[in-house]
Structure 1
Amino acid sequence: MAVVSTEQSSPRESSAEQAGTEPTAAEQALDTQAGTAEEPPKRASGKLLGLLGGVAVVALAIDILTKVAVVANLEGKPPVELFGGLLYLDVLRNPGAAFSLATGMTWLLALLATAVVGVIIWLAPKLRSLGWAVGLGLVLGGACGNLVDRFFRAPGPLQGHVVDFLSVFAPGGAVWPVFNVADSCIVCGGILVVLMSLLGRDYDGTVHRKKKAAQS
């Protein structure tokens, strides 16, 4: 009994077999390109997206936990000196932006922070840069940390005062404005993003190399 094969060969293979020759190098190259062109280069972006989210979650968690701890234990009490006076824990309620700026625009600051979070979320799937992922993760975590205060602390939604408690060199912000972990994350993340830009590295992985001046 004859066995009928169900395997089908491609037209290129059939023509090669009929001609009794192997596929040419050009045909093999076309086959290779066709096999690899459909592979989506998303593995790296997935890892970077996870890194951004992980950095943001850690920053947010540390900010919330430290604020809860200082409010519960230090609010209304004298400042606590640390590291021989290099740092003081001094709890203040800040209606303004980071480092006590724009104290009369609480609701606007809350809306701006919300817009920043939205922009970072929009950029996140397009990330192809490790430095940008870490930087934006820090900014995202810090912005969300202060937004939690804006929405859930007194005197009310979009009017909430941010808890600041870190004062360097002197209590009460005498030397430097009192800040919190979220402020530090925003500043560090912003510096990292600016540094990446100065190095010619975009968030999508594009590297801009400076052109050397033509020698006369």
Structure 2
Amino acid sequence: MRLIVAAFALAFGLDQLTKYLVVYRLGLIDRYAIDVWPPILNFRYGENTGINFGLFDGGADTGRWILIGVSLVICAALTIWTTRQPAHRGLRLAAGLVIGGALGNVYDRVLYGYVLDFLNMSCCGINNPFVFNVADVFIFAGAAGLILFEGQLKKPA
């Protein structure tokens, strides 16, 4: 359980720290765009009331609380499922990353009514119009880890 909590704290803390530094200290909230290393890395201000890539972006307050509730249920279920599995450090680390990222976005939804996004990355002639945040990176990496490490729990017959 300690590894889940440590990974959660890392993901949550880095997500909130980067949002504060980029959005408020660098002034992205006022400038809306900062080119860091174009086109590879740009900061673009975004307020996401939906889920990934703006899906389910209805803007209704009911949707906000539904997304918060669904995220909390998923975090609780993931914690319960992971702690009931045989001790596997990779699985617990991955679960903590997903939970930390998800709760970082939940925190934004509760505080602001939307998720703060600021990362925009493009490459190879493809112009990516979407923005995301560090929590999304941790959710993606953690989900990949859950898939990878869950497969290691199953022993061949």
User: TM-score category by the smaller chain?
Assistant: 0.7 to 0.9
**Counterpart for residue 6 of structure 1:** none
Residue of 58, 66, 74 corresponding to 1:108? 66
CA contact (8 A) 1:70 1:91 kept: no
CA contact (8 A) 1:55 1:134 kept: yes
- Once the two structures are superposed, the pairs formed by residues 1-216 of structure 1 within 5 Å of their partners are 49-72=1-24, 73-104=27-58, 105-127=63-85, 128-153=87-112, 160-169=113-122, 174-197=127-150, 200-202=151-153, 207-209=154-156, 211=157
The structural deviation recorded for 1:123 is 2.9
Mapped partners of 2:147, 2:80: distance in 1 = 19
| Root-mean-square deviation (Å) | 1.8
Mapped partners of 1:78, 1:120: distance in 2 = 35
- The structure, 1 or 2, with the larger RCO (C-alpha pairs under 8 Å, 6+ apart) is 2
The structural deviation recorded for 1:176 is 4.9
Cα 1:107–1:77 change in 2 (3 A) is: same
The runs of 5 or more residues in structure 2 that have no matched partner are none
- Give the secondary structure class of the aligned counterpart of 2:42: strand
Mapped partners of 1:69, 1:169: distance in 2 = 22
Over residues 8-35 of structure 1, what are the superposed CA-to-partner deviations in whole Å (9 max), with x where a residue is unaligned? Answer: xxxxxxxxxxxxxxxxxxxxxxxxxxxx
Deviation beyond 3 Å, 4+ runs, structure 1: none
The structural deviation recorded for 1:130 is 1.5
CA contact (8 A) 2:82 2:91 kept: no
Over residues 100-157 of structure 1, what are the superposed CA-to-partner deviations in whole Å (9 max), with x where a residue is unaligned? Answer: 221123322111101111112323432411121111011010011001011111xxxx
**Counterpart for residue 9 of structure 1:** none
The structural deviation recorded for 1:79 is 1.6
Mapped partners of 1:138, 1:99: distance in 2 = 20
CA contact (8 A) 1:95 1:162 kept: yes
The runs of 5 or more residues in structure 1 that have no matched partner are 1-48, 154-159, 212-216
Mapped partners of 2:40, 2:79: distance in 1 = 36
Cα 1:57–1:101 change in 2 (3 A) is: same
Structure that is richer in helix per residue: 2
